[in-house]
Amino acid sequence: MPTPALERRMPPTHRIAGKGPALFALALILAAGCEHSGRGGTSASREVARSEVGKTAGIRVVRPERRDLRMRVVQPGTIQAFEVTPVYSRISGYVEKYRYNIGDRVKAGDVLIDMWVPDVVEAHQQKSAAVHRAEVQIEVAQRALRAAEARLETAEARIVSARAGVKRAQASYTRWESESRRLQTLVAQRVLDVQVRDETYRQFEEAAAARDQAEAMVSETTADRDRAAADRDKARVDVEAARADLEVAKADERQAKVILDYGRIKTPYSGVITQRNVSPGDYLQPGGGTNGQPLFILEQTDPVRVFVGVPELASFFIHEGDTALIRFQAIPGATREGKVVRSGFSLNPSTRTLQTEIDIPNADGHLHPGWYVTVTIAVDRKQVWTLPSDAIGFQGQQNYYVYLQIDGKPVRTPVIVGPSDDTHTEVLKKYSPDSNTNVWPSFDGTERVLAGNLDVLAEAQSASAKGGQQ
């Protein structure tokens, strides 16, 4: 027999009859969950009733609690090479020999193919000869500059000598001019013979001519100096031009050397050759082999990438640095740990998953691109509000709900949930029906939530709704 408290809160008998045990269990659990006891009821009797009804109906009342939550996202994934590079030829030529085959490990800079390219070799030799010729032209220009500088120095020395000659001629001119005037005076005084005066005058005229000649020599040597300076300047320009020609020749040679080096096809990084589509004697063209295929496929396998699709519900909680455990189908029992290093940000619209990458060291080369793996990513949530997982219902299109016990009645309430572990689920927000707006307050731990066989509550509410229509 139910307790007096239970009797007062049970619906009328005609409402229960014909609705089955689900509605009866619902009435019992709600009555047992009431806070006040009513007449004749005791706290002890309520607890006994609640325990017995919970066992009968599979329903219990719980409250949100804070706890650390570790969610494990377990998804299949695949191993892929860290880098995959098709190797092509840059120039046209014939395959002289190839040095590596599929499965061979190579280092960065190793030569994969030696090509026979005689025209490229000849072009490089011509450019090298042009460099040598430019170097010789620099030497010729430098010698011409030194000769021009020597001529300039000679011209400047001649100017100095000519100017000294002008001074000597001017002194002689001044002396004979003075002597000629003195003798002219003596002749006028009839003290000196005219012949002596005339002889002195001739000396004066010779001194004047010598002075004019010395001044002309200064002008001539100055002109020579200017020509020598111009020759020197031209020689300097010739040296600079020769040096520029040398730089151009060296640049042409470097370009020819680069093209020549294209005849030795090298690896861009260390890795493994996974494909070869070339044979000796094949004619290669830029961008492909004889049939347009890559000459080699090179894969970098240390580290390798693990690609895994994280479901939409867990994608928000996956971050760079999260620990991931990798299990390999090809190596039973073997595991490797890695870190989430990057994700695609956008979800794949067809699978609703977020592409996530995990890098794993593979120095021993045991892990092969293409393997299937199982990825377990641990997501830690510290001190979050949680409910037992059996307190949360789900109804299509990611619509989650709980049954809140409000005024002794179960109220189905939409909720927003977070990650789950084996027993509990994080609850973020609940819908508030008390507001006219779309309000979703956070959980605060005061909520009374029904947990257990939620199908019982759903069936009971459905039966109650049908009964109310009769």
Nearest of 57, 53, 8, 55 to residue 32 by alpha carbon: 53
User: Given its phi and psi angles, is residue 468 left (phi above 0), alpha (psi -120 to 50 degrees) or beta?
Assistant: alpha
Q: Print pLDDT tens along the chain (470 aa).
A: 333 322 222 233 233 333 455 455 555 555 555 444 344 444 444 443 444 444 446 789 999 999 998 888 899 999 999 999 999 999 999 999 999 999 999 999 999 999 999 999 999 999 999 999 999 999 999 999 999 889 888 888 887 887 787 788 788 778 777 777 777 777 677 666 667 667 777 777 777 887 777 778 778 888 888 888 898 899 999 999 999 999 999 999 999 999 999 999 999 999 999 999 999 999 998 876 667 789 999 999 999 999 999 988 788 888 899 899 999 999 999 999 999 999 888 999 999 999 999 999 999 999 999 999 999 998 888 899 999 999 999 886 668 999 999 888 888 899 988 888 889 999 999 988 765 667 788 999 999 999 988 877 766 666 555 555 55
Provide the β-strand partners of residue 113. Answer: 98, 265
* pLDDT given for residue 418 in this prediction: 83
Burial of 375: CB neighbours in 10 Å, binned 0-12, 13-18, 19+? buried
* pLDDT given for residue 467 in this prediction: 56
Q: Return the number of other C-beta atoms located less than 10 Å from residue 85's C-beta.
A: 16
**CA–CA separation, 34 and 27 (whole Å):** 11
Q: Which residues contact 258 (CB under 8 A, 6 or more apart)?
A: none
Q: Return the number of other C-beta atoms located less than 10 Å from residue 184's C-beta.
A: 15
* pLDDT given for residue 468 in this prediction: 54
* pLDDT given for residue 24 in this prediction: 52
Nearest of 316, 285, 269 to residue 112 by alpha carbon: 269
* pLDDT given for residue 245 in this prediction: 95
Length of the chain: 470
**CA–CA separation, 67 and 64 (whole Å):** 10
* pLDDT given for residue 39 in this prediction: 42
Residue 291 DSSP label? T
CA distances from 195 to 93, 141, 174, 198, 202 (A): 104, 64, 21, 5, 11
* Domain map (residue ranges) of the chain: 1-57+453-470, 89-117+263-284, 120-261
Helix boundaries (H) for 398-448? none
Burial of 187: CB neighbours in 10 Å, binned 0-12, 13-18, 19+? middle
Q: Return the number of other C-beta atoms located less than 10 Å from residue 229's C-beta.
A: 16
Q: Which CATH architecture has domain 89-117+263-284?
A: Beta Barrel (2.40)
- Omega before 86 cis (within 30°)? no
CA distances from 122 to 132, 250, 253, 261, 276 (A): 16, 16, 11, 13, 30
Provide the β-strand partners of residue 374. Answer: 76, 327
- pTM as predicted: 0.61
Q: Which CATH architecture has domain 120-261?
A: Orthogonal Bundle (1.10)
Question: Are 414 and 423 spatial neighbours (Cβ–Cβ below 8 Å)?
Answer: no
* pLDDT given for residue 290 in this prediction: 64
* pLDDT given for residue 437 in this prediction: 64
**CA–CA separation, 389 and 425 (whole Å):** 5
